[in-house]
Structure 1
Amino acid sequence: MNIDVVQTVIYSGMLGAIALSLVDVATREKQKTTTFLAGLLLLLMVNVLGELFLYSGAYQYAPGLVGAQLPIRMLLGPALYLYAYACMSPNKAPSQRTYLIALTGPLLAILPMLPFVLGLSSEQKLALADPLTRDPDHYKLALFMCVGTMLVFIVFTGIYLVATLKLHHRHCKQLMDRFSSIERQSMGWFRVVLILWGIAWFMYSVEYVMVFMGWRWFGTGVVLPLFEAVVLVAFAHLALKQSVLDESEKGKPQANDTRATMLSEQRMAQIAAKLEKVMLEDHMFMEEELSLNKLSNAIGISENHISETLSQHLQMNFFHFVNSYRIELAKTLLLTTGKLVSTIAYEVGFNSKSTFNTAFKKQTGLTPSAFKKQQKSTSNEKILN
């Protein structure tokens, strides 16, 4: 039996990781997010089983099943999108049209498979595994199936990965309209893993076709499976670690993005003055979990009116509005105290040093440490002059 030991070990490890993740999901409370995560993990399991079927040599006992996982693999992109939708979208459920469009991938993948699946017997398929026994015409059918399904996979999955990235971007934007701290809700890890998975799947598809055509490189069959395994384990770990967001923690599309300004300039100026007063005098920006709803209740002005004032009059969202006050106070503390940067970050309202550093650099062009060093250097130069 022809067994690829390295790939068998790698895919067996991936299978074990998925199985453990599914056990974890099964013990959790049934919710929309966990249901879609379980569905995605099951599809990944089918995909990995399909690879094990080939590399472990099991295909020799059931050659008719070769390639059976290829149409199911087309559902990985839609499954990632639906999982992201369940985690991030304020809407209750995807439309039926969303599910129907997702099914077009497997249907398109079946088309280039038909000549191979229906045109060859089990013995003819087995003969293709050995260059000495394969029939050139039959091998062309196999190559057509391989290239055709991989092209469909790259295009179809690529469309869904882009759509998922856009969904995540929209989610973050909506969060920034309502919250001053978005680290937990924004699922920043998801975007990174999504891009890595896109790279892994694209390179896997290219290598899959290359191997079929007899082209190999020194990392064939090792580097990409290992990379895919690392991404899968990282995704499973972070997805299981991610807390489920309730509807109040998700962003909501703001009506003023699509409608004309409803408030007069005078009214927005009044609201802006009230916002400035509550920030400077009451220091509300120092609350770590300050939200648009809390601010609305504090000053007695509706969320929509505050949002409209921020976007139309002050030209910023809630996130940047609140953090601008935090950074101004942080600048003062950096120059007048000997406190650590991390201490100042938490003191002014940020709930992580990394978020503080990012926001500080975006507003000032410098990291907190570089800002402090530059200001001291400037002061010393003035003294010497």
Structure 2
Amino acid sequence: MFFKGLLLLLLFHLAGELFIYSGAYVYAPVLAGTQLPFRVLLGPAFYFYAHATMSPDKAISKSLLALTFSGPILVVLAMMPFMLLISPAEKLALADPTTRDPELWKIAVYTCLFATILFISFTVIFLVLALKLHNRHLQQLMERFSDIEQCALDWFKPVLIIWGAIWLMYAAEFALGALGWHWFGSGKLLPIFEVIALAIFIQKALAQKVLKESDKSEPQTNAFKQSRTAILSDEKMQEIALKLETAMQTEQLFLQDSLSLNKLSESISETENHISETLSQFLHTNFFQFVNGFRIEAAKQALQETNELVTNIALDVGFNSKSTFNTAFKKIVGHSPSVYRNLQNENK
């Protein structure tokens, strides 16, 4: 639902910009500016899409909903003088510096600037909230899964930044245009960029694996992270840590590419909450980093002792793709797998 709503808003926004920049407004000047109240909803729409996709909490706070709808209401109120006091003929006259009425032009400029400031403010607020939600989602996944590639929505952050940059450029161009300043790309380049960004977003969103509600649940460690006080005793956490070490070293559970906190919990007969607390409070890591640490150590040994292809080694030690393996390996070791192998061969 939120995905469709976001697409409709994006298309309406594009249509409104093309209506102005193409000159089509001369045929229906009364429609000029009708896209402005809806444009303020673009930032919130992205946040609501992120919330529906990544948040375990289905409900959206009433204060956030109130803030969302206050934007269009404020824009409509600001546009009342422009919509009611200026006739269609006078609106057309405003487009030409030689025919515009100075007082009516002031009303139009102030209306545009106010709408632009609101648009920038709401865009920044809600895109920041969406980025924070995405970061929290990644943390939740890393608390519970050893493979997060299919659920992490890694594409979301760069797409969000691209949209934010385009909209801020739109706002700047719109405000400058209201003041009579134009550049050679006005009304041409940004719509093209936005169509490209829209196509990328649609492709990524449709290709994204649908997340289960369990994949979006809050990490088990939230309670003691907030209190900063361990619930388990040091002795108990040490006991669980030993079990975890045995499960990884002796049983080599890390070789399972779909290993999750739930599966590990069943294997060592400890609750997920107790394992999470031990990892966080005693071992100072999370499930994702803990498991992949053993995978990387196994990969390092294979890179030193065999001539096996890097891709095969990545799959053998539990990773689902070479790209994920390369990223994890470089983060832990400091070099790519190929560079690490070459360095080890030089030192022999």
- Alignment TM-score, normalising by the size of structure 2: 0.95
**Equivalence for 1:8:** none
Quote the offset at 1:74 in angstroms: 0.8
Moved over 4 A (4+): none
Quote the offset at 1:204 in angstroms: 1.1
Match of 2:47 among 81, 87, 98: 81
**Equivalence for 1:300:** 269
Quote the offset at 1:97 in angstroms: 3.2
Quote the offset at 1:264 in angstroms: 0.6
**Equivalence for 2:58:** 92
Q: Deviations over 1:171-217 (max 9, x none)?
A: 00111000001111110101110000000000111011222223233
Match of 1:230 among 193, 196, 200: 196
Instruction: Kindly indicate whether residue 31 of structure 2 is the aligned counterpart of residue 65 of structure 1.
Output: yes
**Equivalence for 1:169:** 135
Instruction: Work out whether residues 14 and 191 of structure 2, in 8 Å CA contact, stay in contact via their aligned partners in 1.
Output: no
Quote the offset at 1:237 in angstroms: 1.1
Alignment of 1:174-185 (within 5 A): 174-185=140-151
Instruction: Kindly indicate whether residue 260 of structure 2 is the aligned counterpart of residue 291 of structure 1.
Output: yes
Give me the whole-angstrom Cα distance separating, in 2, the residues matched to 1:209 and 1:128: 15
Instruction: Kindly indicate whether residue 90 of structure 2 is the aligned counterpart of residue 121 of structure 1.
Output: no
**Two-structure CA RMSD over aligned residues (Å):** 1.4
Match of 2:161 among 179, 182, 195: 195
Give me the whole-angstrom Cα distance separating, in 1, the residues matched to 2:319 and 2:129: 31
Instruction: Kindly indicate whether residue 232 of structure 2 is the aligned counterpart of residue 263 of structure 1.
Output: yes
Instruction: Kindly indicate whether residue 83 of structure 2 is the aligned counterpart of residue 112 of structure 1.
Output: no
Question: Any unmatched runs of 5+ in structure 2?
Answer: none
**Equivalence for 2:172:** 206
Instruction: Work out whether residues 115 and 141 of structure 1, in 8 Å CA contact, stay in contact via their aligned partners in 2.
Output: yes
- 1:294 maps to amino acid: K
Instruction: Work out whether residues 21 and 187 of structure 2, in 8 Å CA contact, stay in contact via their aligned partners in 1.
Output: no
Instruction: Kindly indicate whether residue 330 of structure 2 is the aligned counterpart of residue 361 of structure 1.
Output: yes
Quote the offset at 1:228 in angstroms: 1.3
Instruction: Work out whether residues 59 and 66 of structure 1, in 8 Å CA contact, stay in contact via their aligned partners in 2.
Output: yes
Quote the offset at 1:304 in angstroms: 0.3
Aligned-residue sequence identity (percent) comes to 53
- 1:130 maps to amino acid: D
Q: Deviations over 1:252-291 (max 9, x none)?
A: 2333322321111111011000000011111110111111
Give me the whole-angstrom Cα distance separating, in 1, the residues matched to 2:187 and 2:11: 19
Q: Deviations over 1:59-105 (max 9, x none)?
A: 22322221111011111111111110010011123233332221011
Instruction: Kindly indicate whether residue 346 of structure 2 is the aligned counterpart of residue 377 of structure 1.
Output: yes
Q: 1:122 to 1:216 in 2, by over 3 A?
A: closer
Instruction: Kindly indicate whether residue 272 of structure 2 is the aligned counterpart of residue 325 of structure 1.
Output: no
Quote the offset at 1:112 in angstroms: 3.1
Match of 1:315 among 284, 288, 308: 284
Q: SS at 1:258's partner residue?
A: helix
